[in-house]
Amino acid sequence: LVAVLVATFLPNLGANNAIGISAAAALIVAYIIFKPKLSTPFKDGVRLNDNVGSTGILPQVLSALGSLFTAAGVGAVIAAGVGALIPEGNHLIAVIFYCVGMALFTMIMGNGYAAFAVITVGIGYPFLIAQGANAIVVGALGLTAGYCGTLMTPMAANFNIMPAALLETKNKYRIIMTQVPVALIMLVIHIILMYVLAF
């Protein structure tokens, strides 16, 4: 609520600052409700960081890698390769390539945002948006199609490996194995929705 209010009424601060202010407000509210020792949040923050380890900074590193891939022209290379496989004017095949490509590249990168820039430049824009697809639908469903890949990869360590470590599961891939059927069903639903809603 605080983040939305700050972003709405103080737009000059930007979204990141709105989230930071809301986190500080949440901490104050938690102090009021639970009345812990002043040092408790800091000790628990250190404990959680120690449990997570270097995995905690993985999302930022992977996002930076996605930007680097985009700047290096990986999207253009993907467009050239995919262009030979998609029959001209076949929107269904283009949607399948885009959604599955988003999921696969997210599995490689471990991050939907990193994959989004590269795959949208390589497939989403030239084969969908430039062919008349609704850009808002393509963008929204494309990013969440990438999240289907997040559910199926150990590269998304902050979502899949770290929780397994914190829950002390016997198999560190147990969370991924549980999520795969749901992710595949959701990916098919994304393909259908994008094909129906974007054109």
List pLDDT tens digits, range 38-66.
999 999 888 888 877 776 777 677 777 77
Q: Is residue 29 part of a domain?
A: no
Q: Is residue 14 part of a domain?
A: no
Percent of the chain with pLDDT over 90: 48
Q: Is pLDDT larger for residue 168 or for residue 186?
A: 186
CA–CA separation, 134 and 166 (whole Å): 41
* pLDDT at 71 exceeding the cut of 90: no
Are 173 and 134 in contact, with CB atoms under 8 Å apart? Answer: no
Q: Is residue 22 part of a domain?
A: no
Q: Is residue 1 part of a domain?
A: no
Taking alpha carbons only, the member of 55, 51, 59, 58 closest to residue 165 is 51
> Distances from the Cα of 7 to the Cαs of 14, 25, 129, in angstroms?
6, 14, 29
Total domains present in the chain: 1
DSSP letter at 131? G
What pLDDT, in 10s, does the model give residues 126-170? 999 999 999 999 999 999 999 999 999 988 766 777 777 777 788
Instruction: Quote the pLDDT of residue 94.
Output: 93
CA–CA separation, 130 and 52 (whole Å): 43
Within 8 A by CB and 6+ apart from 21, the residues are 2, 3, 6, 13
- Taking the alpha carbons of 120, 121, 124, 125 in that order, is the dihedral positive or negative? positive
* pLDDT at 26 exceeding the cut of 90: yes
Average pLDDT rounded to a whole number, residues 115-120: 87
Instruction: Quote the pLDDT of residue 121.
Output: 86
Which residue shows structure tokens 């945002």?
113
Kindly report whether the global pTM for this prediction surpasses the value 0.85.
Answer: no
Q: Is residue 84 part of a domain?
A: yes
Taking alpha carbons only, the member of 116, 130, 103 closest to residue 191 is 103
Query: Which range of residues forms the domain containing residue 117?
Result: 54-198
Q: Is residue 9 part of a domain?
A: no
Are 133 and 198 in contact, with CB atoms under 8 Å apart? Answer: yes
Taking alpha carbons only, the member of 162, 54, 60, 53 closest to residue 111 is 60
Which residue shows structure tokens 């996605």?
66
Instruction: Quote the pLDDT of residue 158.
Output: 67
Q: Is residue 67 part of a domain?
A: yes
Mean pLDDT across the chain, nearest whole number? 87
CA–CA separation, 37 and 150 (whole Å): 37
Q: Is residue 176 part of a domain?
A: yes
Provide the pLDDT confidence category of residue 89 given band limits of 50, 70 and 90. confident
Which of 40-54, 91-105, 106-120, 157-171 shows the highest mean pLDDT? 91-105
* pLDDT at 111 exceeding the cut of 90: no
Q: Is 138 helix (H, G, I), strand (E, B) or coil?
A: helix
CA–CA separation, 101 and 78 (whole Å): 10
Q: Is 194 helix (H, G, I), strand (E, B) or coil?
A: helix
Q: Is pLDDT larger for residue 196 or for residue 47?
A: 196
